[in-house]
Amino acid sequence: MSKIWQRGIRYFSYASSIEKGQSRVIDASLTLIRERAKLKGELVRLIGGAKASASLLGVPLGHNSSFLQGPAFAPPRIREAIWCGSTNSSTEEGKELKDARVLTDVGDVPVQEIRDCGVDDDRLMNVISESVKLVMEEEPLRPLVLGGDHSISYPVVRAVSEKLGGPVDILHLDAHPDIYDCFEGNKYSHASSFARIMEGGYARRLLQVGIRSINQEGREQGKRFGVEQYEMRTFSRDRQILENLKLGEGVKGVYISIDVDCLDPAFAPGVSHIEPGGLSFRDVLNILHNLQGDVVGADVVEFNPQRDTVDGMTAMVAAKLVRELAAKISK
């Protein structure tokens, strides 16, 4: 769809009214997020007592995937699964999700509407970064981002780092390193986001866990950027280390990025890239629960509702990841 509109709009882009209209649409989009973030920040501060509080921000962007576009439909499905009533509202370690100090929601960045107005990817990525900063503006809210495909981690981490004024440590769970220099000519590809992050200096350490689809370029880029790549081939050996991580000291904190396909497809069939041989859900929770560090932001990405089971098992999986991350962030 967007191609059509962009073409139409480019044709008339000499007309300054079109150009101004695009800017006004972007401004209105950011205003809407700012107002929602303000309202939620106000609410949490009124209740009081929270030093850090997770706040959901949906980024329904799927056009930078190399295969299938379903992750653009994920945020509303994950929200539905978080509150669906078939499970209670406590996290495994006893936090109460209905408490606004643990979890609020500022809604979605209107990605599709912005693209449909002919706005290009550079500006769109900036809108995502701006949206994350608007959330962080409201103490004690911290962004817990619902993807979308993995391309969104770049503008999100960039915003977190810029807002905090320095690099973070990143725990990245994924079947793939997503660190190609450029994938199919797209520098914003979901397969390149961590190359952009490392180039930008937004992260000090980058730990990649669950890796099992990696080629020579992936390994070379890993070395180039000093990435600590834990491949599934050696997971039984590495488990001890990974279940006792301590991150974020001496930098601005820890950012956690979970690509749902870090899990074996038996546990999470609703992904675009089926890659057998992954982590179990309990493996992931064991790593998260035992991680020591100040979690300043997080994302859950690449859930593809168009590939999920009829009863939405992967939506429940993504939702539980979000729930446990909210517990990890809030304090």
Annotated binding site for Mn(2+): 150, 174, 176, 178, 259, 261
**Rg of the chain over all Cα atoms, to the nearest angstrom:** 19
Binding residues for its own copies restricted to 189-218, rule: CB under 8 A: 212-216
Cβ at position 35, least distance to its own copies in Å = 4
Q: Is the CB of residue 152 less than 8 Å from the CB of residue 144?
A: no
- 16 near its own copies, judged by CB under 8 A: no
Residues sharing a CB contact under 8 Å with residue 245, sequence separation 6 or more, in sequence order: 171, 207, 287, 290, 291, 292, 293
Q: Kindly tell me which residue out of 98, 123, 224, 246 binds its own copies, with binding defined by CB under 8 A.
A: 98
Q: Is the CB of residue 127 less than 8 Å from the CB of residue 109?
A: yes
- 72 near its own copies, judged by CB under 8 A: yes
**Rounded Cα gap, residues 296 and 145, in angstroms:** 12
The beta strand positions in the chain, using DSSP E, are: 53-59, 103-108, 141-147, 168-173, 203-211, 228-231, 254-259, 295-301
**Rounded Cα gap, residues 280 and 302, in angstroms:** 17
Q: Which is nearer to its own copies, 258 or 296 (CB)?
A: 258
- 24 near its own copies, judged by CB under 8 A: yes
End-to-end alpha carbon distance in the chain: 43
Amino acid in the structure at residue 274: I
Q: Segment contacting its own copies (CB under 8 A): 96-104, 121-129, 162-170, 247-255?
A: 96-104
**Hey, what are 210's tokens?**
């669950």
Binding residues for its own copies restricted to 216-275, rule: CB under 8 A: 216, 219, 231-233, 235-236, 264-267, 269, 272-275
Residues at the annotated binding site? 150, 174, 176, 178, 259, 261
Q: Which is nearer to its own copies, 84 or 166 (CB)?
A: 84
- 282 near its own copies, judged by CB under 8 A: yes
Cβ at position 213, least distance to its own copies in Å = 5
Number of residues lying near its own copies (CB under 8 A): 96
Q: Is the CB of residue 254 less than 8 Å from the CB of residue 293?
A: yes
- 46 near its own copies, judged by CB under 8 A: yes
Q: Which is nearer to its own copies, 35 or 199 (CB)?
A: 35
- 186 near its own copies, judged by CB under 8 A: no
Binding residues for its own copies restricted to 102-131, rule: CB under 8 A: 105-108, 110, 112-113, 116-117
Q: Kindly tell me which residue out of 10, 31, 51, 199 binds its own copies, with binding defined by CB under 8 A.
A: 31
Q: Kindly tell me which residue out of 51, 67, 182, 201 binds its own copies, with binding defined by CB under 8 A.
A: 67
Tokens 């008339």, residue located: 12
Q: Which is nearer to its own copies, 157 or 263 (CB)?
A: 263
| Planar angle of CA 66, 63, 195, nearest 5 degrees | 60
Q: Which is nearer to its own copies, 79 or 252 (CB)?
A: 79
Cβ at position 105, least distance to its own copies in Å = 6
Cβ at position 319, least distance to its own copies in Å = 9
**Rounded Cα gap, residues 281 and 288, in angstroms:** 11
Edge-to-edge order in the sheet of strand 141-147: 103-108, 53-59, 141-147, 295-301, 254-259, 168-173, 203-211, 228-231
Angle between helices 281-290 and 313-329 (to 10 degrees): 10
Residues sharing a CB contact under 8 Å with residue 19, sequence separation 6 or more, in sequence order: 13
- 100 near its own copies, judged by CB under 8 A: yes
Per-position x/- string for 283-302, each x denoting binding to its own copies as judged by CB under 8 A, each - no binding? --xx--x-------------
Q: Kindly tell me which residue out of 52, 59, 82, 157 binds its own copies, with binding defined by CB under 8 A.
A: 82
